[in-house]
Amino acid sequence: MLIKTRDDGFVHPQSSEITPQNIYRDRRQLMRLMAGGVAGAALAAWAVRDARAQMPAQGAKLAGRKSSVSGASTMERITDFKDASSYNNFYEFGTDKSDPARNAHTLKTTPWTVGIEGLVKKPGNYALEDLLKLSPMEERVYRLRCVEGWSMVIPWVGYSVAELIKKVEPLGSAKYVEFITLADSKTMPYVGSRVLNWPYVEGLRMDEAMHPLTLLAFGMYGEVLPKQNGAPLRLVVPWKYGFKSGKSLVKIRFTDKQPATAWNVAAPQEYGFYSNVNPLVDHPRWSQANERRIGEDGLFAKKRKTLMFNGYEAQVGQLYAGMDLKKYY
Protein backbone atom coordinates (compact mmCIF):
# COMPACT_ATOMS: atom_id res chain seq x y z
CA MET A 1 0.00 0.00 0.00
CA LEU A 2 1.29 3.42 -0.92
CA ILE A 3 1.26 5.92 1.94
CA LYS A 4 1.70 9.59 1.20
CA THR A 5 3.93 11.30 3.74
CA ARG A 6 5.16 14.78 4.36
CA ASP A 7 8.77 15.57 3.69
CA ASP A 8 9.50 16.39 7.32
CA GLY A 9 12.54 14.19 7.76
CA PHE A 10 10.66 11.44 9.58
CA VAL A 11 11.36 7.91 8.36
CA HIS A 12 8.43 5.50 8.39
CA PRO A 13 9.62 1.98 9.15
CA GLN A 14 7.92 -1.06 7.68
CA SER A 15 5.71 -2.86 10.19
CA SER A 16 7.89 -5.92 9.74
CA GLU A 17 10.84 -3.91 11.10
CA ILE A 18 9.15 -2.99 14.36
CA THR A 19 6.93 -5.99 15.07
CA PRO A 20 8.13 -9.52 15.84
CA GLN A 21 8.07 -11.46 12.56
CA ASN A 22 5.62 -14.18 13.63
CA ILE A 23 3.08 -11.63 14.85
CA TYR A 24 3.59 -9.46 11.77
CA ARG A 25 2.93 -12.36 9.38
CA ASP A 26 -0.20 -13.40 11.26
CA ARG A 27 -1.57 -9.86 11.24
CA ARG A 28 -0.70 -9.33 7.60
CA GLN A 29 -2.76 -12.37 6.61
CA LEU A 30 -5.56 -11.24 8.92
CA MET A 31 -5.76 -7.83 7.28
CA ARG A 32 -6.12 -9.42 3.84
CA LEU A 33 -8.97 -11.63 5.02
CA MET A 34 -10.84 -8.92 6.89
CA ALA A 35 -10.22 -5.87 4.74
CA GLY A 36 -13.77 -5.87 3.38
CA GLY A 37 -15.62 -6.33 6.67
CA VAL A 38 -14.22 -4.28 9.52
CA ALA A 39 -17.42 -3.83 11.49
CA GLY A 40 -18.83 -7.34 11.27
CA ALA A 41 -15.54 -9.05 12.06
CA ALA A 42 -14.80 -6.73 14.94
CA LEU A 43 -18.22 -7.14 16.50
CA ALA A 44 -17.95 -10.89 16.31
CA ALA A 45 -14.59 -10.64 18.04
CA TRP A 46 -16.13 -8.44 20.73
CA ALA A 47 -18.39 -11.26 21.87
CA VAL A 48 -15.37 -13.53 22.24
CA ARG A 49 -13.38 -10.93 24.16
CA ASP A 50 -16.33 -10.10 26.41
CA ALA A 51 -16.25 -13.65 27.71
CA ARG A 52 -12.57 -13.42 28.66
CA ALA A 53 -11.58 -10.10 30.13
CA GLN A 54 -8.31 -11.31 31.60
CA MET A 55 -5.56 -11.30 28.97
CA PRO A 56 -2.98 -14.04 29.61
CA ALA A 57 -2.52 -14.47 25.86
CA GLN A 58 -3.48 -12.71 22.67
CA GLY A 59 -7.04 -13.47 21.58
CA ALA A 60 -9.84 -11.87 19.62
CA LYS A 61 -8.65 -10.15 16.46
CA LEU A 62 -9.64 -6.70 15.18
CA ALA A 63 -9.57 -5.86 11.51
CA GLY A 64 -7.36 -2.99 10.44
CA ARG A 65 -5.09 -1.96 7.61
CA LYS A 66 -1.37 -1.43 7.82
CA SER A 67 -0.85 2.29 7.61
CA SER A 68 0.73 5.29 9.19
CA VAL A 69 0.45 9.04 9.45
CA SER A 70 3.43 11.32 9.69
CA GLY A 71 5.15 10.74 13.00
CA ALA A 72 2.96 7.78 13.97
CA SER A 73 5.58 5.04 13.88
CA THR A 74 8.77 4.52 15.80
CA MET A 75 11.75 2.22 15.36
CA GLU A 76 11.78 1.46 19.09
CA ARG A 77 11.13 -2.02 20.39
CA ILE A 78 7.43 -2.71 20.98
CA THR A 79 6.47 -3.43 24.57
CA ASP A 80 5.45 -7.05 25.13
CA PHE A 81 1.69 -7.54 25.02
CA LYS A 82 1.79 -9.21 28.43
CA ASP A 83 3.32 -6.10 30.00
CA ALA A 84 1.04 -3.66 28.19
CA SER A 85 -2.09 -5.55 29.28
CA SER A 86 -1.11 -6.18 32.90
CA TYR A 87 0.53 -2.90 34.04
CA ASN A 88 -2.18 -0.26 33.75
CA ASN A 89 -3.70 2.87 35.22
CA PHE A 90 -7.49 2.51 35.28
CA TYR A 91 -8.64 3.78 38.66
CA GLU A 92 -12.22 2.61 38.15
CA PHE A 93 -10.80 -0.88 38.75
CA GLY A 94 -8.23 -0.04 41.43
CA THR A 95 -5.20 2.12 42.04
CA ASP A 96 -2.51 -0.57 41.90
CA LYS A 97 -1.02 -1.21 38.47
CA SER A 98 -2.14 -4.86 38.56
CA ASP A 99 -5.70 -4.10 39.71
CA PRO A 100 -7.26 -3.40 36.28
CA ALA A 101 -6.21 -6.74 34.77
CA ARG A 102 -7.51 -8.50 37.88
CA ASN A 103 -10.81 -6.61 38.21
CA ALA A 104 -11.89 -5.46 34.75
CA HIS A 105 -13.65 -8.74 33.88
CA THR A 106 -16.81 -7.17 35.33
CA LEU A 107 -16.96 -4.49 32.60
CA LYS A 108 -19.77 -5.02 30.06
CA THR A 109 -18.78 -3.75 26.62
CA THR A 110 -21.82 -4.84 24.61
CA PRO A 111 -24.05 -3.12 23.74
CA TRP A 112 -22.19 0.21 23.74
CA THR A 113 -23.10 3.68 22.55
CA VAL A 114 -21.27 7.00 22.60
CA GLY A 115 -23.28 10.18 23.02
CA ILE A 116 -22.27 13.16 20.89
CA GLU A 117 -23.40 16.35 22.61
CA GLY A 118 -23.02 20.10 22.77
CA LEU A 119 -22.09 22.55 20.02
CA VAL A 120 -22.48 20.19 17.09
CA LYS A 121 -24.81 19.87 14.09
CA LYS A 122 -25.25 16.11 14.37
CA PRO A 123 -25.72 15.18 18.02
CA GLY A 124 -27.02 11.78 19.00
CA ASN A 125 -26.16 8.37 20.36
CA TYR A 126 -23.77 6.51 18.05
CA ALA A 127 -23.66 2.74 18.35
CA LEU A 128 -20.27 1.10 18.52
CA GLU A 129 -20.80 -0.68 15.21
CA ASP A 130 -21.47 2.68 13.52
CA LEU A 131 -18.27 4.12 14.93
CA LEU A 132 -16.32 1.09 13.71
CA LYS A 133 -17.57 1.70 10.17
CA LEU A 134 -16.87 5.43 10.20
CA SER A 135 -13.32 5.26 8.84
CA PRO A 136 -10.76 2.60 7.81
CA MET A 137 -8.71 1.29 10.70
CA GLU A 138 -4.99 1.98 10.93
CA GLU A 139 -2.28 0.47 13.06
CA ARG A 140 -0.07 3.12 14.63
CA VAL A 141 2.88 2.44 16.87
CA TYR A 142 2.84 5.17 19.51
CA ARG A 143 4.89 5.80 22.63
CA LEU A 144 2.84 6.11 25.80
CA ARG A 145 4.49 8.07 28.62
CA CYS A 146 2.83 8.23 32.04
CA VAL A 147 3.26 10.99 34.56
CA GLU A 148 4.61 8.53 37.14
CA GLY A 149 7.73 8.12 35.01
CA TRP A 150 7.13 4.89 33.07
CA SER A 151 6.58 4.39 29.38
CA MET A 152 5.60 1.82 26.76
CA VAL A 153 5.54 1.46 22.97
CA ILE A 154 2.19 0.09 21.79
CA PRO A 155 0.71 -0.70 18.34
CA TRP A 156 -2.78 0.80 18.54
CA VAL A 157 -5.59 0.12 16.06
CA GLY A 158 -8.08 2.88 15.25
CA TYR A 159 -8.44 6.10 13.29
CA SER A 160 -7.92 9.81 13.85
CA VAL A 161 -10.48 11.49 16.10
CA ALA A 162 -10.66 14.10 13.34
CA GLU A 163 -12.66 11.62 11.24
CA LEU A 164 -15.39 11.51 13.87
CA ILE A 165 -15.29 15.27 14.41
CA LYS A 166 -15.77 15.93 10.71
CA LYS A 167 -18.70 13.50 10.65
CA VAL A 168 -20.64 15.20 13.45
CA GLU A 169 -19.89 18.77 12.23
CA PRO A 170 -19.11 20.93 15.29
CA LEU A 171 -20.28 24.53 15.26
CA GLY A 172 -17.81 27.36 14.79
CA SER A 173 -18.27 28.29 18.44
CA ALA A 174 -16.91 24.92 19.62
CA LYS A 175 -13.39 25.47 20.99
CA TYR A 176 -12.87 22.34 23.10
CA VAL A 177 -13.78 18.66 23.03
CA GLU A 178 -14.70 16.98 26.31
CA PHE A 179 -14.31 13.21 26.67
CA ILE A 180 -16.40 11.49 29.36
CA THR A 181 -15.82 7.91 30.40
CA LEU A 182 -18.08 5.24 31.86
CA ALA A 183 -18.73 5.42 35.61
CA ASP A 184 -20.78 2.37 36.50
CA SER A 185 -20.48 1.35 40.13
CA LYS A 186 -22.04 -2.03 39.34
CA THR A 187 -19.27 -3.05 36.96
CA MET A 188 -16.44 -0.76 38.08
CA PRO A 189 -15.75 -1.53 41.74
CA TYR A 190 -13.69 1.59 42.53
CA VAL A 191 -16.14 4.13 41.11
CA GLY A 192 -17.24 6.11 44.14
CA SER A 193 -13.82 6.07 45.76
CA ARG A 194 -12.56 9.44 46.94
CA VAL A 195 -9.47 9.48 44.75
CA LEU A 196 -11.33 11.32 41.95
CA ASN A 197 -14.67 12.86 41.08
CA TRP A 198 -16.60 10.49 38.81
CA PRO A 199 -17.08 10.12 35.91
CA TYR A 200 -13.53 10.54 34.66
CA VAL A 201 -13.39 13.54 32.33
CA GLU A 202 -10.67 14.71 29.97
CA GLY A 203 -10.50 17.43 27.33
CA LEU A 204 -8.57 18.81 24.40
CA ARG A 205 -8.54 22.04 22.50
CA MET A 206 -10.24 21.64 19.14
CA ASP A 207 -6.96 21.89 17.23
CA GLU A 208 -5.42 19.21 19.46
CA ALA A 209 -8.38 16.91 18.91
CA MET A 210 -8.24 17.52 15.15
CA HIS A 211 -4.52 16.76 14.91
CA PRO A 212 -4.02 13.59 12.83
CA LEU A 213 -1.97 11.92 15.59
CA THR A 214 -4.92 12.04 18.04
CA LEU A 215 -6.36 8.56 17.85
CA LEU A 216 -9.71 6.96 18.62
CA ALA A 217 -8.49 3.45 19.44
CA PHE A 218 -10.59 0.28 19.28
CA GLY A 219 -7.73 -2.18 19.56
CA MET A 220 -4.05 -2.85 20.18
CA TYR A 221 -1.63 -5.50 18.92
CA GLY A 222 -4.13 -6.29 16.15
CA GLU A 223 -6.83 -7.25 18.66
CA VAL A 224 -9.89 -5.77 20.30
CA LEU A 225 -8.86 -3.64 23.29
CA PRO A 226 -8.55 -5.61 26.52
CA LYS A 227 -10.97 -4.33 29.11
CA GLN A 228 -8.16 -3.18 31.38
CA ASN A 229 -6.78 -1.04 28.53
CA GLY A 230 -10.02 0.87 27.94
CA ALA A 231 -12.41 -1.32 25.96
CA PRO A 232 -14.32 -0.89 23.81
CA LEU A 233 -12.86 2.46 22.70
CA ARG A 234 -10.48 5.00 24.14
CA LEU A 235 -8.52 8.12 23.32
CA VAL A 236 -4.78 8.03 22.59
CA VAL A 237 -2.92 11.38 22.53
CA PRO A 238 0.72 10.33 22.16
CA TRP A 239 2.44 13.64 22.97
CA LYS A 240 0.62 14.03 26.30
CA TYR A 241 0.88 12.12 29.56
CA GLY A 242 -1.17 8.93 29.57
CA PHE A 243 -3.93 10.18 31.86
CA LYS A 244 -5.11 12.50 29.06
CA SER A 245 -6.15 9.43 27.04
CA GLY A 246 -9.53 8.59 28.55
CA LYS A 247 -10.70 4.96 28.52
CA SER A 248 -14.13 3.36 27.93
CA LEU A 249 -15.62 6.52 26.41
CA VAL A 250 -19.38 7.07 26.60
CA LYS A 251 -19.74 10.77 25.74
CA ILE A 252 -17.95 13.29 23.55
CA ARG A 253 -19.11 16.85 24.13
CA PHE A 254 -18.24 19.96 22.11
CA THR A 255 -18.06 23.16 24.14
CA ASP A 256 -16.86 26.74 24.03
CA LYS A 257 -15.36 26.49 27.53
CA GLN A 258 -12.28 24.63 28.75
CA PRO A 259 -13.50 21.41 30.39
CA ALA A 260 -12.88 20.76 34.06
CA THR A 261 -10.80 17.60 33.75
CA ALA A 262 -10.58 14.89 36.39
CA TRP A 263 -6.98 15.20 37.55
CA ASN A 264 -6.87 18.96 37.14
CA VAL A 265 -9.87 19.21 39.49
CA ALA A 266 -8.42 16.69 41.96
CA ALA A 267 -4.92 18.22 42.14
CA PRO A 268 -4.55 21.40 40.05
CA GLN A 269 -1.08 22.10 41.42
CA GLU A 270 0.12 18.76 40.04
CA TYR A 271 -1.87 18.16 36.83
CA GLY A 272 -2.45 20.95 34.35
CA PHE A 273 -5.05 20.99 31.62
CA TYR A 274 -2.55 20.59 28.79
CA SER A 275 -0.40 17.84 30.33
CA ASN A 276 2.08 17.82 27.46
CA VAL A 277 5.13 15.64 28.07
CA ASN A 278 7.75 18.21 29.06
CA PRO A 279 10.98 17.12 30.77
CA LEU A 280 11.64 20.75 31.79
CA VAL A 281 8.54 20.91 34.01
CA ASP A 282 8.78 18.63 37.02
CA HIS A 283 5.84 17.13 38.81
CA PRO A 284 5.83 18.74 42.29
CA ARG A 285 6.83 15.39 43.83
CA TRP A 286 9.28 14.01 41.26
CA SER A 287 11.36 14.88 38.23
CA GLN A 288 10.04 14.31 34.71
CA ALA A 289 13.49 14.42 33.11
CA ASN A 290 13.82 10.63 32.82
CA GLU A 291 11.59 7.61 32.35
CA ARG A 292 11.78 3.84 32.61
CA ARG A 293 10.52 1.69 29.77
CA ILE A 294 8.34 -1.18 30.95
CA GLY A 295 9.98 -4.47 29.98
CA GLU A 296 13.48 -3.03 30.40
CA ASP A 297 13.55 -3.26 34.17
CA GLY A 298 16.71 -5.29 34.73
CA LEU A 299 18.93 -4.54 37.68
CA PHE A 300 21.28 -2.38 35.62
CA ALA A 301 18.74 -0.96 33.15
CA LYS A 302 19.29 2.73 32.58
CA LYS A 303 16.45 5.19 32.54
CA ARG A 304 15.77 7.01 29.28
CA LYS A 305 15.79 10.75 28.90
CA THR A 306 12.28 12.07 28.50
CA LEU A 307 11.72 13.59 25.06
CA MET A 308 9.89 16.87 24.59
CA PHE A 309 6.30 16.15 23.61
CA ASN A 310 7.20 12.47 24.06
CA GLY A 311 9.25 12.62 20.86
CA TYR A 312 6.51 14.17 18.71
CA GLU A 313 7.75 17.76 18.86
CA ALA A 314 8.24 18.03 15.10
CA GLN A 315 4.61 17.06 14.55
CA VAL A 316 2.82 18.98 17.34
CA GLY A 317 5.13 21.72 18.60
CA GLN A 318 3.45 24.33 16.41
CA LEU A 319 0.20 23.87 18.34
CA TYR A 320 1.83 25.63 21.31
CA ALA A 321 3.86 28.32 19.56
CA GLY A 322 4.17 31.39 21.78
CA MET A 323 2.76 29.68 24.88
CA ASP A 324 4.58 29.64 28.21
CA LEU A 325 4.80 25.86 28.65
CA LYS A 326 5.74 26.19 32.32
CA LYS A 327 2.57 28.15 33.00
CA TYR A 328 0.34 26.10 30.69
CA TYR A 329 1.65 22.74 31.83
> Average pLDDT in the 142-154 region?
96
Q: What CATH code is carried by the domain that includes residue 112?
A: 3.90.420.10
> Is 266 within the bounds of a domain?
yes
For residue 113, what are the β-bridge partners?
A: 127
> Is 8 within the bounds of a domain?
no
User: 65-66 and 249-255 as β-strands: parallel, antiparallel, unpaired?
Assistant: unpaired
If pLDDT is split at 50, 70 and 90, which confidence band does 61 have?
confident
Higher-pLDDT residue of 2 and 262 is 262
What global pTM score does this model have?
Answer: 0.82
> Is 157 within the bounds of a domain?
yes
Provide the 8-state DSSP code for 123: -
> Is 328 within the bounds of a domain?
no
d(CA 34, CA 92): 33
Lowest model confidence (mean pLDDT) among 24-38, 58-72, 145-159: 24-38
Is residue 101 within 8 A of residue 88, CB to CB? The reply is yes
> Is 326 within the bounds of a domain?
no
> Is 3 within the bounds of a domain?
no
pLDDT digits 0-9 by tens, 39-59: 434 433 443 344 334 433 345
Domain that holds residue 23: 15-320
> Is 196 within the bounds of a domain?
yes
Is residue 204 within 8 A of residue 237, CB to CB? The reply is yes
Q: How many domains does the chain have?
A: 1
At residue 30, φ and ψ (nearest 5 deg) are -60, -45
pLDDT, averaged across the chain: 84
How many CB atoms neighbour CB 116 within 10 A?
20
List C-alpha distances in Å: 62 to 12, 37, 92, 300. 23, 10, 25, 37
> Is 10 within the bounds of a domain?
no
